[in-house]
Structure 1
Amino acid sequence: MERNSAELSRSEFDSCAAPPRAIRCGRRNFEASEIRSPHGFRIGRRRACKPDCRSGSAAARHHRRVGGLIRNRRRRFRRWQPGSGRGAQPPRAGILGEADSLRAAHGKFPRRGGDFCQGGGRLPGSRRNGVGEESAPIIWRSENARRSRPARETGARQWLGRHRAHDGADSSVARGTESRPSGGPRRRREVRLLAPAAWVFRVGVSFRSAAYRRRWLKTHHLHRPVISVGNLTVGGTGKTPFVAYLAERLLSRGRKPAILTRGYRRERGTEIIFIEPARRRAPDPRAVGDEPAMLARQLPDVPIVVSADRYRAGLAAEKRFEVDTHILDDGFQHLRLARTLDIVLLDAMENYDAGLLPAGRLREPLSELARAHVIVLARTLASSGRPGVDGDTQRLAAAERIESIARRWAPQAQVFRAETELAGLRTVFEGVRKDAADFVNLPSFAFSGIGNSQAFFQDLRRWGFHLVGQKVFSDHHRYAPKELGGLKESARALGAEAMLTTDKDAMNLFGIEPCGLPILACSISMRLSEQEKFEEALFCGLGSVPVKT
């Protein structure tokens, strides 16, 4: 036989879990009782209607707002959590973190008629014990009980307070079939916190650019034309492969180019290092830097000068090697050296709305594209909508959008599209060239420490490699033997039979013993869709069109 809430005894009322929202049952005649934790602390008060309430036999119902009928002192109870399988309140809900152990009632109080403890035949907060019987409402939950919560319940609570589900996506080694989210609430909070620093950085960059433009700061000129290759972000657009492509184009037209580079993270940072043209030259990457060492192996006939002072390096190259063209690697922001032609690479997969450093990846505002003479959109093949690549339509729209941005900020510049191609494979430690077709169907583990590792992984999938896992390191990362051993263990655990990396990472593996699993370095080249038109713009920008020899 059903009873109204007004007919409940005091002991029956106290056996139910504390309601986290206010209950309205008339205007007056309420009977209060205290709520205490298992440790004896008084954590609140509870009011119930007396049997002689003015509302008579009317059932209790919800108040539309959290009212004062439940005295919510020191935020012991935070919010009403609907459903019968939800988790505990956040730790900040109570003093000494006790609310993390208190479980509020999750059953809804009926609006009309019936017992307020009936939530579909079950008490609020009660659970079935697996035999068809119901256990008592959970008022206290120990720490061990919270840790042993089933996975399905943990997943349902992943966005409640600080209780988040920690799954495999937080691991440093990701499986090849998984994809991580690129943003989220945490990233947005970081951007908001770093927004003032990004504004200060923008002011400094704009003032520096204006100082060189107004000739407050001196710009130095070399005797030979200078071609600058750079970008707007902190790496990852394919500058080094494009520098190699540009040097090959100049050599094919009878030019004698030299490459001026900084040599990031080299040991001797203040000296000028000359890498003489020679066959099979293999300079130490630790002394000259990973990118100059890679270019020296790819371009044996091109002299390379490594120095932070590119003007001084250019003068030395003109005197020592009698070059007629300078290629300034990563020189768009190096305004101290005047250039004849400014080539800027924009990654079609980059988000240029993220902002400037440190909030985003931009080193300069998009308005500085006005200095560029030629703009090359890199990785457009991954954005061309071809099958086999996830999100083809979105990437195609992104490429079109970035091209419109380039034409907006640099209307005078010529825009070209480039594609990344796999030039070949070679073993890292032996230097033996391998056929890519022999490793396409093998399960492989990829790792890289470049500016945009995710783009490299997507290129590998586009080239047909089967990735079972991947690992990302910081740009210009120098690997230790222990790290290489950890990569081997991760690859073997995922069933990989080979490991793939970039030519740049292969330079940073210098001096490490083989780990027992074959490590292959991918040689990446650039191919422009309108190569003849680009060469015409290149040599017209240099001031002369030499006869092809």
Structure 2
Amino acid sequence: MYFIFHFFCLQLIKFYKKLFSLKFLSQHSFPFPILSVGNVSLGGTGKTPFIYYLAQLCCKLKIKHVIVSRGYKKTSSGLCIVHDGNQLLCTDPLIAGDEPVMLAFKLKQTPILVDNKKQRALSYVKQAFPKHLVLLDDSFQSHYIIKNFEIVLFNSLLQKQALRLFPFGQLREPLTALSRANLIVFTKQNLQQKQNSAINAVLNIVKKHNIPYFYSDFSFLLTKYSIKKHGSLRWETTPLQQLPKNNLLLLCCGIGDPESFKQTVQQYKPNICKSLVFSDHYNYHKNEKAFISQIQGLYSQHSFNGLLTTEKDFVKIKSLSSSCLSWFAQKKINLFIVDIKIQLQKEIAFIEYIKNLAP
């Protein structure tokens, strides 16, 4: 059954590419360098931490840059300027998407544009930031845009059985598509127990096509957020090295790879009473009543005093209604946020590729 499905998908992909070569579908080119960051699998590769890493690297190298994203699962249409390089203009994840807003809070001098039609956002870049390097998020499958450099991320924790096309596995397109990449980055290398056969399958393709590749590690920052109510709600933040031992925690996340998050937090030796896992890019605002009902139900059972979640989830949780957040304050439930950082092995060699893309 799968082989028939796989063959059919291959023919569709070939036909789609042929439409471009025959000029039935047009490709858009732009007068500035475009660095694409993408993957061949469904979520969980670490694209957002990697985009953040690239933006920080550009700042360090004094390369003017702008991030362009489609803002997955945002409710607005058209162009949204999340950050103009001077100030944060949109803080609502419903309007701009959770990941662009999260990046905008952290990157103080990087323009961030969101549009479901990326070529429209790139046309705006042509007017407003013509001498910038574009970091184009999730664009390996965006064939309608001509890019200067394609970086593809691959999750080192992915198992061989996942190397099938969705819905039989986790691939968005066949592994052979990696031949289009200019560079491969294996993510979460330090989290895997032993090298798996999935990585070996990717390496076979990479070496066959002589594609440079790098390994990267994940590191983590832990922060406690407390909600205080003194007339109005306000947040108090405290950086932590470890979780307080006396805290009973509810783990909560809506991300692409929840299992690696569960594995990650084990380094803090958390006392977790229950795990609440939602779909990737979970809309907390739309499902606020159901979410708070679940939280309150679990609280009545376990009387936990902390919520352990990701920074991506926190961006949306902190924008919930004041009545919802007041409940957290009333019950003295702290939020413990894990922020993911990515670090490339052999970074000096990687930097040379970025320098060569500078406008």
Residue aligning to 1:362 = 171
Residue aligning to 1:248 = 56
Aligned 8 A contact 2:40 2:173 in 1: yes
Residue aligning to 1:434 = 238
* Amino acid in the other structure paired with 2:276: K
* Amino acid in the other structure paired with 1:529: Q
Residue aligning to 1:223 = 31
Aligned 8 A contact 1:198 1:357 in 2: no
Aligned 8 A contact 2:311 2:337 in 1: yes
Could you give the per-residue CA deviations for residues 493-519 of structure 1, whole angstroms, max 9, x where no partner exists?
Answer: 345331111122123322232232222
- Which of the numbers 164, 169, 181 marks the counterpart of 1:372? 181
Could you give the per-residue CA deviations for residues 251-300 of structure 1, whole angstroms, max 9, x where no partner exists?
Answer: 1111111111001122222x111122235655211111111111111112
Residue aligning to 2:190 = 381
CA-CA distance at 1:326 after TM superposition = 0.2
CA distance in 2, matches of 1:440, 1:210: 58
CA distance in 2, matches of 1:460, 1:311: 38
- Which of the numbers 55, 66, 69 marks the counterpart of 1:261? 69
Residue aligning to 2:231 = none
Residue aligning to 2:230 = none
Aligned 8 A contact 1:226 1:339 in 2: yes
CA distance in 1, matches of 2:251, 2:125: 38
* Amino acid in the other structure paired with 1:292: P
Structure that is richer in strand per residue:
2
The aligned runs of 1:483-502 (5 Å cut-off) are 483-490=291-298, 493-494=301-302, 496-502=304-310
Unaligned runs of 5+ in 1: 1-191, 384-391, 545-549
Report the aligned-residue RMSD: 2.4
The aligned runs of 1:35-74 (5 Å cut-off) are none
The aligned runs of 1:517-536 (5 Å cut-off) are 517-536=333-352
Aligned 8 A contact 1:260 1:310 in 2: yes
* Amino acid in the other structure paired with 1:274: I
Task: Name the SS for the 1:233 alignment partner.
Answer: coil
Could you give the per-residue CA deviations for residues 208-237 of structure 1, whole angstroms, max 9, x where no partner exists?
Answer: 245446665322111111111111111111
Residue aligning to 1:294 = 102
* Amino acid in the other structure paired with 2:107: L
- Which of the numbers 252, 256, 281 marks the counterpart of 1:447? 252
- Which of the numbers 128, 132, 142 marks the counterpart of 1:324? 132
Aligned 8 A contact 2:222 2:241 in 1: no
Could you give the per-residue CA deviations for residues 479-498 of structure 1, whole angstroms, max 9, x where no partner exists?
Answer: 21331331243256345331
Q: TM-score, normalised by structure 2?
A: 0.85
CA distance in 2, matches of 1:475, 1:381: 23
CA distance in 1, matches of 2:309, 2:165: 29
CA-CA distance at 1:463 after TM superposition = 4.3
CA distance in 2, matches of 1:286, 1:444: 27
- Which of the numbers 463, 476, 482 marks the counterpart of 2:290? 482
* Amino acid in the other structure paired with 1:467: I
Q: TM-score, normalised by structure 1?
A: 0.57
Could you give the per-residue CA deviations for residues 297-317 of structure 1, whole angstroms, max 9, x where no partner exists?
Answer: 111211111112212211212
Give the percent of matched residue pairs that are identical in Structure 1 and Structure 2: 25
Structure that is richer in helix per residue:
2
Task: Name the SS for the 1:286 alignment partner.
Answer: helix
Task: Name the SS for the 1:376 alignment partner.
Answer: strand
Task: Name the SS for the 1:470 alignment partner.
Answer: strand
Residue aligning to 1:405 = 201
CA-CA distance at 1:404 after TM superposition = 2.7
Task: Name the SS for the 2:189 alignment partner.
Answer: coil
CA-CA distance at 1:359 after TM superposition = 1.9
Structure showing greater relative contact order (alpha-carbon pairs closer than 8 Å, 6 or more residues apart):
2
Shift in alpha-carbon separation, 1:372–1:322, aligned structure 2, 3 A: same
